[in-house]
Structure 1
C-alpha cells in the first residue's frame, strides 16, 4: 500500500514538472463570475476577474527531480523491508 502511494505521488510530481516546463502562464477564472457560454465565443472575454499565474523558474526542475527521487525510492521500499524482516 505504501509503495503504490509513493509511486502515485512521484508520477504526479513528474507530470506536474513536465506541465510547468510546457506552460508560460495559466489563467484562473473566478467560478462565480464565469458563465459556460462565455467560453464558447472566442472573441469574448470569459470574465473580468482573471488572475494570471506564472510558475517560477525553479518549479519544473524541483517537481521533476522530486518526483523521480520519490519513484526510485518507492521501487526500493520492498527490498529494504524484506531484508530487515529476515
Structure 2
C-alpha cells in the first residue's frame, strides 16, 4: 500500500512539474461571498475573485526532480521491508 501511495505521489509531482514548465501563468477562481441568487443566475458573477499564479523559473525543475526521486525511492520500498532472514 505504501509503495502505491508513493508512486502516485511521485507521478503527480512529475505531472505538476511538466504542466508548470509549459504554462506561463494560471488563473485560480474563487467564489467567496457568492449567494444562492448568483447560483440560479449564472450571468451575474459578482462574487468571483481571480488570483493569477506565475511559477518561478526554478519551480518546475524542483517539482520534477522531487517527483522523480520519490518514484525511484518507491521502487526500493519492497526490498527495504523484507525480513532480513530471506
TM-score after normalising by structure 1: 0.75
CA 1:63–1:85: 2 relative to 1, 3 Å: farther
Are 2:69 and 1:69 aligned? yes
Residue pair 2:27, 2:51 contacting (<8 A) in 1 also:
yes
Superposition RMSD in Å: 2.4
Partner of 2:78: 78
Which structure 2 segments of 5+ residues have no match? none
Are 2:34 and 1:58 aligned? no
More helix by share: 1
Partner of 2:3: 3
TM-score after normalising by structure 2: 0.75
CA 1:10–1:31: 2 relative to 1, 3 Å: same
Q: Per-residue CA shift, 1:39-79, capped at 9, x if unaligned?
A: xxxxxxx7773221101111100110000000000001111
Which structure 1 segments of 5+ residues have no match? 39-45
* Count of aligned residue pairs for this structure pair: 79
